[in-house]
Amino acid sequence: MDVLSQAEMVAREQEAFQSGVSAAALMEAAGEAMAWRLVALYPQAQTFLILTGRGNNGGDGLVVARHLAESGRMVQVVLSAPEGQLGELPRAQLDRLIGPYPNLEIVPWHDDLAFPGSDGVVIDALLGIQARGPLREPLAGIVTKTNAARVSNFFRTAALDLPTGLAACEDGAAPDHRDAAVVADVTLAVGFAKSVLVREALAAWVGRLEIVPWSRVQIASTPRQVLVGPELAGLLPRRSALSHKNDFGRVVIVAGSPGFTGAPALCAQAALAMGAGLLSVVTRPEVHAIVAAQSPHEAMVSGWPEGGGTSPVVQNASALAIGPGLGVDEKTFEILRAALATGRPLILDADALNALAQNLDLLREAKGPVILTPHPGEMARLLGRSFGAEERESVAREFADRHNVTLVLKGTRTLVTAPGQPIFINTTGNPGLSTGGSGDTLTGILAALLAQGLAPIDAARLGVWLHGHAADLVLGERGCEEGLTPTLLSANLGAALVSLRAQAVAVDGLIERAVLADGSNASPG
């Protein structure tokens, strides 16, 4: 799905209006879609406090309030401006709320407003994408108090379209303090991902990114794309009833060393959960017994030959994953050279990347496709220099093109790219992934997808999305990010696949819903 600038998003809206879609119908469609997405994200929440502005973003919030109230939730609408200052569309939406909803309260903002507790959700509908400049009063004070209450009360915060205050960062700036913008746990972008929302430096304010699609028909037209479920659902095909374990690939994981014997097991359990037909773990001979004891029962565990040469298991692999917990010494270089020479699809992670950073020329020895999965520190070692958050996309593009690899640059907004491909920006995941072993799990997922025949770029973008989505499902079930272990992550990969495939059938986007609401024959544009 396209990443657009704020100006490009406004232009798409104008195209829709010129085709006959009314602004009122588009607001209704957006508000309704965001309301039901919030219900899905926070099914246990019964209390919603909605901070509304006087413009169309506030109007979106009022539509959300109406649909939440109709669903039986307790809703409090907080007006940041007097009713007489509301725009035409927000005023019309406010009129629809007055009277018929006993579970909905409308109040003006006041400094001693009571925020909900940890079972509540605060919705930011103060300012939209056309706001300019830093926040002024009273909005600056509202944002400061909201952010402070979020820290003390532990409610979730959801921003509609973008967190209030971040529009000022469209020019590449970043907030100079926390309260320059609303700190959101999730941002529900209307139509497309705006460029300001996918910047790594702004992730602390944007939180998780959800996109309410513009149209049922999505045509990728920009060199920057966000990864969304409907566009990924068809990459992993259904299995035939006439099948055999060899049809789903032989994954070989080369990992583990003294003191790091858990990494192979975490990688292996993820590969199995993602459907690998056969799984082998090859480790250093001195830890063979420990790794064998810790690995899943389904894994075949062996030691790398001590006298040199290549493990015969490696030669028969459908896909190889090298590096988790492997250590960096001469043995690692021996293993790396042998793996590169096989011509098998190859994932290099962790210590394989650290070894590669000492001799990037090794990549020239690759006889088959290679995926690299560095975190920012590993990427800096590969580059031989540090880099800032705003360089991530250019760094990823340049490195992938120069070395002819598929690159997965991890981060809050993990990037995926390859020569001749767009920059793909992931939208799934949460802070629960910030734990040891999460990267090993991703490596196992990617290896299983490669072994099942996916092209490297498809395995990479599908794998990172599923990795994050599984974490989001765990968060939705547990309610907290703490304790989201790699084992829990792997256990939820099946649910992530089910959830992904439920998105395979395209649903009406905002344009189709707005056309239907208008009762017109306007073209979706």
Q: What sign for the dihedral angle of Cα 73, 74, 79, 80?
A: negative
Rounded-to-integer distance, Cα 349 and Cα 450, Å: 15
Give the end-to-end CA distance of the chain in Å, rounded to a whole number: 16
Whether the Cβ atoms of residue 419 and residue 460 lie closer than 8 Å to each other: no
pLDDT bin (cut points 50, 70, 90) of residue 520 is very low
Spatial CA neighbour of 465 closest among 231, 229, 269: 229
Q: Which of 3-7, 278-282, 475-479 has the highest mean pLDDT?
A: 278-282
β-pairing, 423-425 with 415-417? antiparallel
Supply the Cα-derived Rg of the chain in whole angstroms.
25
Is 370's pLDDT higher than 70? Answer: yes
Report the domain count for the chain: 2
Spatial CA neighbour of 349 closest among 274, 260, 276: 260
Q: What is the 3-state secondary structure (H, E, C) of 108-166?
A: ECCCCCCCCCCCEEEEEECCCCCCCCCCCCCHHHHHHHHHHHHHHHCCEEEEECCCCCH
Domain presence at residue 268: yes
Domain presence at residue 231: no
Residues 6+ apart with CB under 8 A from 373: 347, 348, 349, 353, 408, 410, 439, 442, 443, 446
More confident residue, 497 or 516: 497
Q: Are residues 68 and 155 in the same domain?
A: yes
Spatial CA neighbour of 64 closest among 84, 42, 35: 35
To the nearest whole percent, how much of the chain has pLDDT over 90?
83
Is 39's pLDDT higher than 80? Answer: yes
Q: Which DSSP category does 414 fall into? A: -
Report the pLDDT value the prediction gives residue 523, as an integer from 0 to 100: 40
pLDDT bin (cut points 50, 70, 90) of residue 171 is confident
More confident residue, 342 or 172: 342
Rounded-to-integer distance, Cα 121 and Cα 332, Å: 50
Number of CB atoms found within 10 A of residue 450's CB: 31
Is 106's pLDDT higher than 50? Answer: yes
Domain presence at residue 271: yes
pLDDT bin (cut points 50, 70, 90) of residue 172 is confident
Domain presence at residue 36: yes
Report the pLDDT value the prediction gives residue 174, as an integer from 0 to 100: 87
Q: Are residues 213 and 253 in the same domain?
A: no
Q: Are residues 101 and 166 in the same domain?
A: yes
pTM of the model: 0.94
Domain presence at residue 496: yes
Report the pLDDT value the prediction gives residue 221, as an integer from 0 to 100: 85
Q: Are residues 492 and 354 in the same domain?
A: yes
Q: Are residues 107 and 149 in the same domain?
A: yes
Report the pLDDT value the prediction gives residue 216, as an integer from 0 to 100: 85
How high is the mean pLDDT of the chain?
A: 93
Q: Are residues 176 and 251 in the same domain?
A: no
Domain presence at residue 474: yes
pLDDT bin (cut points 50, 70, 90) of residue 346 is very high
Q: Are residues 175 and 322 in the same domain?
A: no
Query: What's the Cα-to-Cα distance from 267 to each of 134, 230, 347, rounded to whole Å?
Result: 46, 27, 12
Q: Which DSSP category does 74 fall into? A: E
Q: Are residues 311 and 174 in the same domain?
A: no
What pLDDT digit, counting tens, does each position of 81-104 carry?
Answer: 999 999 999 999 999 998 889 999
Is 521's pLDDT higher than 50? Answer: no
Find residue 346's DSSP bridge partners: 320, 370
Q: Are residues 214 and 265 in the same domain?
A: no
Is 524's pLDDT higher than 70? Answer: no
Domain that holds residue 448: 245-501
Query: What's the Cα-to-Cα distance from 131 to each of 86, 90, 161, rounded to whole Å?
Result: 15, 16, 12
What pLDDT digit, counting tens, does each position of 261-316 carry?
Answer: 999 999 999 999 999 999 999 999 999 999 999 999 999 999 999 877 788 899 89
Q: Are residues 280 and 192 in the same domain?
A: no
Q: Are residues 146 and 266 in the same domain?
A: no
Is 432's pLDDT higher than 90? Answer: yes
Domain presence at residue 523: no
Domain presence at residue 229: no
Report the pLDDT value the prediction gives residue 481, as an integer from 0 to 100: 93
Quick one: residue 20, left, alpha or beta (phi over 0 = left, psi -120 to 50 = alpha)? left
Report the pLDDT value the prediction gives residue 492, as an integer from 0 to 100: 97
Spatial CA neighbour of 114 closest among 62, 57, 76: 76
Q: Are residues 389 and 296 in the same domain?
A: yes
Token readout for 405 is 């690899």
Whether the Cβ atoms of residue 252 and residue 319 lie closer than 8 Å to each other: yes
Is 120's pLDDT higher than 80? Answer: yes
User: What CATH number should be reported for the domain holding residue 153?
Assistant: 3.40.50.10260
Rounded-to-integer distance, Cα 485 and Cα 307, Å: 37
pLDDT bin (cut points 50, 70, 90) of residue 350 is very high
Whether the Cβ atoms of residue 255 and residue 281 lie closer than 8 Å to each other: yes
To the nearest whole percent, how much of the chain has pLDDT over 70?
99
Q: Which of 34-38, 151-155, 215-219 has the lowest mean pLDDT?
A: 215-219
User: What CATH number should be reported for the domain holding residue 451?
Assistant: 3.40.1190.20
